């Protein structure tokens, strides 16, 4: 006898929300106990089952929304009022919460956290033990990784292809200083 895989959640067709673009999202409900979640517990909103893995402890809850070709898998959680959309992926033990947005082809994975009013989009990656929070924006091809912390009210669009030990960039002045150092390195390289 072949055992069919067990689903951990279902879409609730009678509890929906609509995105700004008009995409219909469905609330999810746990069909079994897993991680800290209990059978019958309602989660957040997804467009389709391809947005949230039936495997692992991945979960979307509170008022969080995942749609488009976005995918949450492994043991990642998206919660509070966070949105993950486009073709973004959230995986590993990553957490996306608060009013954070992850979109485009962005990747958040490992033990990374994106929270507050932070945005990670385009082809940006946040991974390792990195945090992006408050009002920070990480985009283009930028990578934030290891134990880096990016916060505050500025945008990070640089790509760094060398390792910096634990960089905390929390003001525009610190970002300007980093960019000056990077420009000096670039001039030496030319």
pLDDT of 185 over the 80 cut = no
Could you report the per-residue pLDDT of 41-73, keeping only the tens digit for each? 999 999 999 999 999 999 999 999 999 999 999
- If one compares 178 and 93, the residue with the highest pLDDT of the two is 93
> What average pLDDT does the segment 146-160 reach?
73
Residue 57: the pLDDT is: 97
pLDDT of 186 over the 80 cut = no
> What average pLDDT does the segment 120-133 reach?
97
Return the domain boundaries, the chain.
Answer: 9-189
Percent of the chain with pLDDT over 90: 76
Residue 170: the pLDDT is: 61
Residue 83: the pLDDT is: 98
DSSP the chain: -PPPPPPSEEEEEEEEEE-TT--EEEEEEESS-BTTB-TT-EEEEESSGGGB-SSTT-EE-TT-EE-TT-EE-TT-EE-TT-EE-TT-EE-TT-EE-TT-EE-TT-EE-TT-EE-TT-EE-TT-EE-TT-EE-TT-EE-TT-EE-TT-EE-SS-EE-----S--SS-EE-SHHHHHHHHHHHHHHHHHH-
Residue 158: the pLDDT is: 52
Class of domain 9-189: mainly beta
Residue 87: the pLDDT is: 98
């Amino acid at each position: 006898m072949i055992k069919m895989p067990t689903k951990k959640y279902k879409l609730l067709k009678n509890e929906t929300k609509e995105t700004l673009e008009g995409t219909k999202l469905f609330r999810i409900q746990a069909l079994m106990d897993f991680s800290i979640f209990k059978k019958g517990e309602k989660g957040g909103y997804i467009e389709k089952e391809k947005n949230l893995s039936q495997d692992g402890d991945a979960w979307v809850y509170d008022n969080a929304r995942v749609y488009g070709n976005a995918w949450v898998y492994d043991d990642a959680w998206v919660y509070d009022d966070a949105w993950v959309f486009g073709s973004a992926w959230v995986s590993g033990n990553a957490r996306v919460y608060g009013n954070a947005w992850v979109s485009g082809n962005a990747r958040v994975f490992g033990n990374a956290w994106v929270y507050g009013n932070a945005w990670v989009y385009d082809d940006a990656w946040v991974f390792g033990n990195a945090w992006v929070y408050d009002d920070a924006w990480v985009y283009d091809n930028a990578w934030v990784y290891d134990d880096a912390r990016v916060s505050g009210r500025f945008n990070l669009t640089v790509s760094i292809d060398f390792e910096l030990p634990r960089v905390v960039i929390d003001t525009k002045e610190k970002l300007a200083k980093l960019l000056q150092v990077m420009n000096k390195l670039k001039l030496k390289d030319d």
